[in-house]
Structure 1
Amino acid sequence: MTTKEILQYVKNHASGKVKIAYVDIDGVLRGKYISAKKFLNIAEKDTSFCDVIFGWDAVDVAYDNCAYTGWQTGYPDAPARIDLTTFRKIPWENDLPFFLGALVDAAGNPAAVCPRQLLKKVLGDAQQMGYHPVSAQEFEWYNFSETPQTAADKGFHNLEPLTPGMFGYSILRSTLKNSFFTDLFEDLRKFDVPLEGIHTETGPGTYEAAIEYSDLITAADRATLFKTAVKEIAYRHGIMATFMAKINETLPGCGGHVHQSLMDKTGKKNVFYDARDKQQISQTFRQYIAGQLYCLPFILPMFAPTINSYKRLVEGAWAPTTLTWGIDNRTVALRVLQQSAAACRLETRVIGADVNPYLAMAAAVASGLYGIRHQLKLVQPAQVGNGYLETDYGVLPRTLEQATAAMKASPVAHELFGERFTGHFVSTREWEWKQHLKTVTDWELKRYFEII
C-alpha cells in the first residue's frame, strides 16, 4: 500500500484507534493504543516515547548502572519515529492498524541504544561492502493450558502442557489442538509474518515454526512480532506460550536459530555459493564463517541474553557448546546448508528463543562481515560427527557473567556495534546477573534447607 492508502485506512477504521510499539533491549514490544486523529498528526513527522523503555529491565525494575537514562535524567520522552512501511492489520483485533517505531536522538539521528536502529546500521555496513543480506529466524517454544493468573498462582510449577509426552514431528498431536495450530499459521500470514512451516517439536506441548526468508530488517520485524503474536493468539485459546531458552533441566531447550545469506548488490546472486568448490561454498562464505567463529565468544550475550540462556547451552541438548562449524550438522555452533545457489546459507544455532531478534541478526551479520572485512581464514575443518567433543578451537562461555565480561573486555563488540550501544548493552547484562545473584532458588532450598 502507498502512504496515502495507509493513512486513509487508519482514518476509515471503525475503531478510531491505532496500535504502535517500540522494541526494548530485551526484545519486548513496548507500546500503546492512540487515537487515529493523534496518529495522523504524527505519522509523517517525529513523535516521542518515554525513554524508560531503555532504562528498566524486562520486569520494569529501573537500572542503576546505565548512562542513557535514569533517575538522574528524570526519564523524559525521547524523540521517536513511526515507520509507515511496517503497517499491518491485526487480524485478531478486527484488523486494527499496527505500526513499529524506533527512537532517534535530539538531532534526529538513530538512537544508539535502539535495537532496530542498530540493525539498520549493520545493514548499511553490508551495503557499503556491496552485499544485500537476507535472513529468517525459526523458533521453538512451549505451550501450556494455563492463563497468566493460573500460572502465577502455581508459582510457575506443575503447569499443564498443551499436549503430553515427547512427540516431535507428530501429525497426530497437531490435530489435538488443531484450532490453535491453524490460527497460528493463518493469522500470522494475515499479519505479514508468513511461515514456511510449523510442526510439533520434541517436548510436551512444544511447537517449532520457521518464518519465510526476507530482507534483513523485515526478517527481524517479523521475528519480533512473531513472538508477541504467538502469545496473543495463544491467549485467545486459553494457552500460555513461553520462549524461555530452558524451562526444565529434563527437557530440551528452545532455539531461535537465525538463517542468513549474502546476496550481491543486485539481490540476485548468492555470494555464499560456489558450484566449483568441493563443498560448494565460496571463499566469501568461508570468511563469513571464520568471522562468526572468531567473534562468537565476544558477542555471545547478543545471542544468549539471559541467565536462563546458558541452561540451554549444554552438551547433548540440541544446542552447541563449542566453537565449531559443519555441513548439515546439528551438533555444531554454525551449520552450513549448501544444496543449491538458492538455498545456500548459514544457520547460527547458538541463538535461543529468548533472544531479541534485532540484536541476534545484527550480531550474526556483523560478525560475518568482520570475517570478510579482515579476510579471516577458515582454518578449522568442517566438523564431522559429534561437535560436543571438538574442543580444540574453543568452547562457549558458560554463564552470562563470563560472556558479558568477555564482551566488555574485547574491542570486537565496540568495532561492530559502536561504543555507546555496547556500553549500554553490557551494563544491562551486568544488571541482569546482579539481579540473579540476589535470588534464593528452588535448587538451593532443596539442596540445603534440611541437610546443611
Structure 2
Amino acid sequence: MPSVTSTSALLKQLADKKMQKVKLAVTDIDGVLRGKVISFEKFKSIAESGFGFCDVVFGWDAGDVAYDNAAITGWHTGYPDAMAVIDIKTCRYIPWDNDIAFFLADFDTKEAASEICPRNLLKKVNAQVKKAGYHAYCSQEFEWFNLVDNSDELYAGKFRDLKPMTNGMFGYSVLRASQRNAFFNDLFDLLKKFDVPLEGIHTETGPGVYEAAITYSDSLEAADRAVLFKSSVKEIGYRHGVLPTFMAKFNENLPGCSGHVHQSLWSADLKQNLFYDKKKKHNISALMESYIAGQLYCLPYILPMFAPTVNSYKRLVEGAWAPTTLTWAVDNRTTALRALPAGEKSARLETRVVGSDSNPYLAIAACLASGLYGVKKKLKLETPVTIGNGYANKTNGVLPSNLWQATQAMKNSDLAKELFGETFVAHFTATREWEWRQFSKVVTDWELKRYLEII
C-alpha cells in the first residue's frame, strides 16, 4: 500500500504516475462493492471534500431490488446523494487493470447513511476497543467454489447444472492446485501486489474449492482486505474463465464455505498479546476467557451478522464442518469458537460461525463488539470447554436454524441495540426480513419435483 501522509502528497504521487482515472467504491449492507471510475481531474476536486454517492446502495438488496421496509432511504426519501468521504490510506493500484488507482470510501458522520454504513460501524467498534485500552488484530479466511464461467449458459439454464473448475474432492491437494496453476498463482501474486497479502492458499475438500488465509492486520485494515479479497478473486477469476462463488452452501451434497474470523487483543503499545498467559490453563488469559464468554453470550442475538442470507443456514448443519451449538474448545473444529492459545505471538480466537457470504465489516464488528462486551462486563467463562464432538454438546443451547428466527432474535434484542445502536439494528434486521420474504414467495425446483404431479 502506498505510504502517503497527506492528500497533497497523494495527488502528487498519482500525477507522477500520469494517472488518468481513479476507481472509488463503498460497501453495501451485503458486503458488495458499489463504485465508479472517475477522471483524475474529478478526483483532485473531491479528494478532501468528498463526493455525492446515491444512498440507494443501502436501499436495495444484492439483486438491486429496492426495499419497501427501510426507514433511512427509500421511495419515500427520493434516494438522494449522501456525502461519501474517501479514505486516502486505502490507496491501492489494481495490477490486473493497468494499475489504476483504487480507493475505499465511507459516509460522512453528518449523514443518516453513516449510521448504517458497514465500514463506519466497524470504525465505531474499533474506537471502543481503543478507548478500552486495547488494539485489535484480526484476519478473515475464506473457502469458496470455483466454477466454469459461462454467464450466458448460467442465465439460460436458470443457474442449474453448474460445472466446478476441477473434479473430485482433493482437499490440500498439490495435484489439483497445479491443474489450474495459472489461476492459482495469479491469486497469490496479484493479491499481494494489490496489498491484500495471503498467508497461504490451498485446495479444500470439494470440486474446485480453494481456501485462503489473509495476513492479519489492524481490524479495519483486515476488513478492508477481506472485502477487496472477495471482489478481487472474482475479477481475477473472470480473466481465467473461472466464476468464483462465496455462497455459504453452493450444493446440498457438498461442504459449505466458511469465512472464519481470527482475532486477538493486544496492549495499546502493541507489545503484549493479552490473550496469552503462560501461567493459566491452556495459556488462556482471564481477559481471553471474558472475551470468549462475551461472544457466547451475544451470539444468539447477533447471528445474522455472521450468517446474513437464507443460504447461510444450509451451511450451519451438523457434521458439515460448521458449528450448530453454543460451544467453545481448544483447537476443536466442531465448536462455534475455537481457541488457539499455543503461542505468545499467535494466541487468538477463531470464530467459526462466520460464513464466506458474510460482510467482513459486519462480521469483524460483531466479533469485536461481543468479545469486548464480555471484557467490559468481566464475564466469567462458565461454559465448560467442549471435549470431543461439539455438535453433540447441546447443553448450552443451539444456534437459530434459519434467517427468520435469527433476525427476530436480533431485532428484539436490547443487547444488539446496545452493541450497534438502534438505527443500525432496525435497518439491518429490516433488510434481513426482506431477504426472507423474497425467498419465501419463490416456487422452488424442489417443490415442483415433490408436488407438481402427485398432489
TM-score bin, normalised by smaller chain: over 0.9
1:126 pairs with 2:129 = yes
Return the offset for 1:160.
1.6
Show the counterpart of 1:32: 36
1:344 pairs with 2:334 = no
1:304 pairs with 2:307 = yes
Deviations, residues 213-235 of structure 1 (Å, cap 9, x unaligned): 00010000000000000000000
Task: Choose the corresponding residue for 2:390, options 383, 387, 390.
Answer: 387
Runs of 4+ in 1 over 6 A off after TM superposition: none
SS at match of 1:135: strand
SS at match of 1:158: coil
Show the counterpart of 1:20: 24
For 2:350 and 2:13, how far apart are their aligned partners in 1? 38
1:157 pairs with 2:132 = no
Show the counterpart of 1:88: 92
Show the counterpart of 2:74: 70
1:315 pairs with 2:313 = no
SS at match of 2:142: strand
CA 1:406–1:79 in structure 2 vs 1: closer, same or farther (change >3 Å)? same
Show the counterpart of 2:375: 372
SS at match of 1:367: helix
Task: Choose the corresponding residue for 1:412, options 415, 430, 454.
Answer: 415
In structure 2, the gaps of 5 or more residues are none
Does the CA-based 8 Å contact 1:140-1:255 persist in structure 2? yes
Show the counterpart of 1:6: 10
Return the offset for 1:372.
0.8
Return the offset for 1:443.
1.1
Task: Choose the corresponding residue for 1:60, options 64, 74, 99.
Answer: 64
Does the CA-based 8 Å contact 1:234-1:241 persist in structure 2? yes
Deviations, residues 111-149 of structure 1 (Å, cap 9, x unaligned): 101000000000011111111000000000000112322
For 1:71 and 1:175, how far apart are their aligned partners in 2? 51
Q: How many residues align?
A: 451
For 1:392 and 1:164, how far apart are their aligned partners in 2? 40
Task: Choose the corresponding residue for 1:255, options 250, 255, 258.
Answer: 258
For 2:248 and 2:193, how far apart are their aligned partners in 1? 28
Return the offset for 1:278.
1.7
Q: Spell out the pairing of 1:177-326 with structure 2 (5 A cutoff).
A: 177-326=180-329
SS at match of 1:341: coil
Show the counterpart of 1:438: 441
Show the counterpart of 1:354: 357
Does the CA-based 8 Å contact 2:19-2:101 persist in structure 1? no
Task: Choose the corresponding residue for 2:101, options 77, 97, 107.
Answer: 97
In structure 1, the gaps of 5 or more residues are none
Does the CA-based 8 Å contact 2:145-2:208 persist in structure 1? yes
For 2:362 and 2:370, how far apart are their aligned partners in 1? 12
Return the offset for 1:448.
0.9
Query: Aligned AA for 1:373?
Result: K
Does the CA-based 8 Å contact 2:82-2:111 persist in structure 1? no
Does the CA-based 8 Å contact 2:72-2:112 persist in structure 1? no
Return the offset for 1:79.
1.0
Query: Aligned AA for 1:293?
Result: L
Query: Aligned AA for 2:259?
Result: G
Deviations, residues 30-54 of structure 1 (Å, cap 9, x unaligned): 0000000000110012221000000
Return the offset for 1:320.
0.2
For 1:159 and 1:148, how far apart are their aligned partners in 2? 11
Query: Aligned AA for 2:59?
Result: G
Instruction: Return 375-384 or 166-175, whichever deviates more.
Output: 375-384
Show the counterpart of 2:454: 451
Does the CA-based 8 Å contact 2:259-2:357 persist in structure 1? yes
SS at match of 1:20: strand
Return the offset for 1:10.
2.6
RMSD across aligned positions (CA): 1.1
For 1:22 and 1:148, how far apart are their aligned partners in 2? 25
For 1:135 and 1:100, how far apart are their aligned partners in 2? 19
Deviations, residues 275-319 of structure 1 (Å, cap 9, x unaligned): 001210011000000000000000000000000000000000000
Does the CA-based 8 Å contact 1:10-1:18 persist in structure 2? no
Does the CA-based 8 Å contact 2:325-2:390 persist in structure 1? yes
Show the counterpart of 2:428: 425
Show the counterpart of 1:46: 50
Deviations, residues 140-199 of structure 1 (Å, cap 9, x unaligned): 000011232232222221122111010000000010000000000000000000000000
Deviations, residues 263-283 of structure 1 (Å, cap 9, x unaligned): 011112111000001210011
Does the CA-based 8 Å contact 2:144-2:244 persist in structure 1? yes
TM-score, normalised via structure 2 length: 0.98
Deviations, residues 328-373 of structure 1 (Å, cap 9, x unaligned): 0000000000111101000000000000000000000000001111
For 1:298 and 1:108, how far apart are their aligned partners in 2? 27
Query: Aligned AA for 1:440?
Result: V
Return the offset for 1:15.
5.5
Return the offset for 1:12.
4.2
For 1:157 and 1:138, how far apart are their aligned partners in 2? 28
Instruction: Return 145-154 or 362-371, whichever deviates more.
Output: 145-154
1:172 pairs with 2:175 = yes
Does the CA-based 8 Å contact 1:146-1:159 persist in structure 2? no
Query: Aligned AA for 2:298?
Result: C
Query: Aligned AA for 2:263?
Result: Q
Query: Aligned AA for 1:245?
Result: A
Query: Aligned AA for 1:63?
Result: Y
SS at match of 2:438: helix
For 1:252 and 1:368, how far apart are their aligned partners in 2? 28
For 1:268 and 1:390, how far apart are their aligned partners in 2? 37
